Amino acid sequence: MSAPSTTPRGPRRFGWPKRVFSQVLLMQLAIVTGVTVLATGLFLAPLSAQLDDQAMRRALAIAQSTAAQPQIADSLVSTDPTPDGPVQTAAERIRRSTGAEYVVVMDRRGVRWSHTDVSRIGDVVSTDPSSALAGRSVMEIDSGTLGRSARGKVPLLDGADRVVGAVSVGIAYDSVRARLLAVIPVLLAYAGGALAVGALAAYLISRRLQRQTHDLAFSDIAALLTEREAMLHSIREGVVALDRAGRIRLLNDEAQRLLGLGPDAAGKPLEEALGEGRTADVLAGRVVGEDLVTVRGSRVLLANRMPTDDGGAVATLRDRTELEYLGRELDSTRGLIDALRAQDHEHANRLHTLLGLLELEMHDDATEFVTEVVGVHRATSEQVTEKVHDPLLAALLVGKATVAAERGVALRMAPGALLPDRLVDPRGLVTVLGNLVDNALDAAAGSADARIEVGLRAEGRTVVLRVRDSGPGVPAGDHESIFTEGWSTKELPAHGRRGLGLPLVRRLAERQGGSVTVSGSCEGGAVFTVVLPEALREPGAPDEPEQPGRPPVAAPATTSGGTL
């Protein structure tokens, strides 16, 4: 069995603590202690000088009051300096009554006529009296035969205002120092109280900071902030943080892209950055719910909002544009599948009829029957292409006519409709026309004499699109509501969202500087009118390149059977 290690361990080092609570507490205690010591020192330094000045002024005042007594000057002139003389007697009386260290009266030669030590009477003073004998008052702190003292010296005048001597009064400097030392404990008591209050406040602040930071170290907080920034700007979901006043506090890169804002939007009020509309209402919390649908520009967004403890909120945005396009294409595909299924039965019936005519050797009737069927399809295509020269719009109308026919709705072109092949944004117009025809088809289906009329005409460079249906129409009070995201009278489709087609139509029209309105028809139903200025290129202008990033619009199938 090996012996235990006897390697000596070095002294334990107490480094700087890592927790925010401990660091803040130590820093605040150090600051409070330093401020207390500094304040105490700054207070004591002038206090000492102030006490010295008070002592010198007191000594000078006693000397002046002594020199103002005329009997002392008279006795100085008329008597000799003796221990029991009148000058000594008066000086001692004044010294005892004022508490001074000494009261010395001297003649013009500097010979003492009074002193606390009577043996020194008749001797020359130990300090220079020339200033006082010259008629000037003196205040000083000096050392003499009685030690260090605060002194005041004044000239002694006779009745004729002649200098006959001087008076020197001293206050022991030890008494001044004693006063200062007596004040220091009180100052230290106040400083200690201030230090205790500061330490308690530092502790409470540190405890609050500890709760708010979850007792993390500064390095951990810095790492979390770095990770948060990286996470916010890397996720593919828009994040918008708002403060309690409704100002944008944070906006990640995806939110800037989805909302069409720049980095300078941070700090601005929500309405100022986004403008009025449903998007601002959803983010501000004026519209409540989960997965709220809103349209921003040409994008369909899903928004969720979560309030925060400080009165603000964090909103997340998801781009549903692609999914909406796919959902609409799915709806269109399902409609085409239903139409093709019906067409399959119709074609089967026609083939059976043709087969019967051939078996009955009714060849002329068979030829006439085939010519009639083919002629209907050719007439449909020719009627569309004669009035609509853009291939995408023509294909859309032929396909919609087929779907409408299978649902018992007649789709026809309005008289005077004519649109040249000079569209600036044909895909955008396909989206607008497709949504309006779909809504008209849903409204007209099942009505008496069900029909849809589509009008397309050019007025200069402006395109005017009008879609009329024979449905129940739109109440006057809902003419604006129908363009609000989420508003719909239809059942939910398979992909779970309705009320986006008309808002998208309005957004696309407004993006091109146009407008969309709805009105009633004298024959019943609703009339949607879209005006798109600058939608046509000048004659002879080259085709513009296809705009990148826009979701493709599938051209509908051109199955036969439509009515135009």
- Domain presence at residue 548: no
The model's pLDDT over 240-249, given as tens digits with 9 standing for 90+, comes to 889 988 898 8
Average confidence (pLDDT) over 99-116? 89
Report the pLDDT value the prediction gives residue 530, as an integer from 0 to 100: 92
Q: Are residues 74 and 125 in the same domain?
A: yes
Report the pLDDT value the prediction gives residue 479, as an integer from 0 to 100: 67
At 492, the pLDDT band (50, 70, 90 cuts) reads very low
At 548, the pLDDT band (50, 70, 90 cuts) reads very low
- Domain presence at residue 466: yes
Q: Are residues 418 and 514 in the same domain?
A: yes
Report the pLDDT value the prediction gives residue 83, as an integer from 0 to 100: 87
Q: Are residues 409 and 515 in the same domain?
A: yes
Report the pLDDT value the prediction gives residue 493, as an integer from 0 to 100: 47
- Domain presence at residue 439: yes
**pLDDT over 90 at 155, yes or no:** yes
Average confidence (pLDDT) over 43-53? 73
At 542, the pLDDT band (50, 70, 90 cuts) reads low
The model's pLDDT over 413-446, given as tens digits with 9 standing for 90+, comes to 888 888 888 888 888 888 888 888 888 888 888 7
The tokens 């202690």 sit on which residue?
A: 33
**pLDDT over 80 at 402, yes or no:** no
- Domain presence at residue 15: no
How high does pLDDT run on average in the chain? 77
Domain boundary among 319, 344, 370: 319
Q: Rg of the chain over CA atoms, in angstroms? A: 53
Q: Are residues 303 and 342 in the same domain?
A: no
Q: Are 299 and 309 in contact (CB under 8 A)?
A: no
With vertex at residue 53, the alpha carbon angle to CA 49 and CA 55, rounded to the nearest 5 degrees, is 120
Q: Are residues 349 and 309 in the same domain?
A: no
Residue 427's CATH number: 3.30.565.10
Residue 38 Cα distances to 33, 49, 71, 422, angstroms: 9, 17, 53, 85
Report the pLDDT value the prediction gives residue 497, as an integer from 0 to 100: 46
Q: Are residues 33 and 95 in the same domain?
A: yes
Q: Are residues 447 and 497 in the same domain?
A: yes
Strand extents, DSSP E, 393-472? 410-413, 451-459, 462-469
Q: Are residues 382 and 478 in the same domain?
A: yes
In what helix (H) or strand (E) does residue 104 lie, and over which residues does it extend?
strand 102-107
- Domain presence at residue 3: no
- Domain presence at residue 215: no
Burial class from Cβ neighbours inside 10 Å (0-12, 13-18, 19+) for residue 555 reads middle
In what helix (H) or strand (E) does residue 241 lie, and over which residues does it extend?
strand 238-242
Average confidence (pLDDT) over 252-267? 85
Q: Please, which residues have CB within 8 angstroms of residue 491's CB and are 6 or more apart in sequence?
A: 498
Instruction: Write out the residue range of the structural domain in which residue 515 sits.
Output: 324-532
Report the pLDDT value the prediction gives residue 46, as an integer from 0 to 100: 73
Q: Are residues 29 and 169 in the same domain?
A: yes
Q: Are residues 251 and 338 in the same domain?
A: no
Domain boundary among 158, 179, 200: 179
- Domain presence at residue 197: no
Average confidence (pLDDT) over 96-112? 89
Q: Are residues 356 and 310 in the same domain?
A: no
Q: What percent of the chain has pLDDT over 90?
A: 6
Domain count, the chain: 3
Burial class from Cβ neighbours inside 10 Å (0-12, 13-18, 19+) for residue 372 reads exposed
Average confidence (pLDDT) over 463-485? 80
Q: Are residues 248 and 367 in the same domain?
A: no
* Least confident segment among 143-157, 278-292, 324-338, 358-372: 324-338
Residue 138's CATH number: 3.30.450.20
- pTM for the full model? 0.42
Domain boundary among 277, 297, 319: 319
- Domain presence at residue 403: yes
At 558, the pLDDT band (50, 70, 90 cuts) reads very low
Average confidence (pLDDT) over 86-115? 90
Average confidence (pLDDT) over 498-523? 77
Most confident of 159-168, 222-231, 292-301, 540-549: 159-168
